[in-house]
Amino acid sequence: MNGQDPTSMEALYQRPGFIIRRAHQIVLALFDEEAAELGLTTTQYSVLHTLRARPGINQMGLCELIGIDRSTATMVLRLLERNGLVERRQSEKDRRRNTLMLTSAGEDLLIRAAPLSKAISERMREVLSEEELSQLSRLLGQFVQSFNHRVRNPLLPDTAAGQIPSRASPS
């Protein structure tokens, strides 16, 4: 890589995959610092945000919208239920299914968490300009969209009609 000794640590540190993994660790650390008093993880925040955006979704739909596996969703949902932030309700359309709803305590927590995103973005602006952050988001989005179908739990984005695309047709 760039004429470097392939056995050097710098050769590893400059690999895009390594940099992406490290950047993810840093973003998680920034979130943990900002959310410490709320006791909220990034996955819990994603679940709560999704339930606010799509009240009544089922667990499989939730997994598809945020790209997590069923076992992770089950674990997170149990904790959120125990903490009174989420509730399961029997579906009126199909009694065999449960729907997921944000409780008022869950909504309150999301309101208290709203400044987190802004605070994390401001921390990122300490080292990247607005234009650089925009470019980073665009490039990472392009990368994710191009290879999303290659992962075990592809993100299946919401459609305009509010329907969850089928797993059989990853795009």
Distances in whole angstroms, Cα of residue 31 to Cα of each of 52, 94, 130: 20, 38, 19
Token digits of residue 156: 């299946």
166 is a domain residue: no
Q: In the predicted model, what is the mean pLDDT of residues 84-109?
A: 91
Residue with tokens 């945020």: 66
Q: What is the pLDDT of residues 107-135, one digit of tens each?
A: 999 999 999 888 998 999 999 999 999 99
Domain that holds residue 43: 15-150
CATH code assigned at 23: 1.10.10.10
89 is a domain residue: yes
Quickly state the pLDDT bin for 78 (edges 50, 70, 90). very high
Token digits of residue 76: 């997170």
Quickly state the pLDDT bin for 169 (edges 50, 70, 90). very low
pLDDT higher than threshold 80 for residue 57? yes
Counting the structural domains of the chain, the total is 1
Q: What is the pTM of this model?
A: 0.81
Q: Residues 132-135: contacts with CB within 8 Å, 24+ apart?
A: none
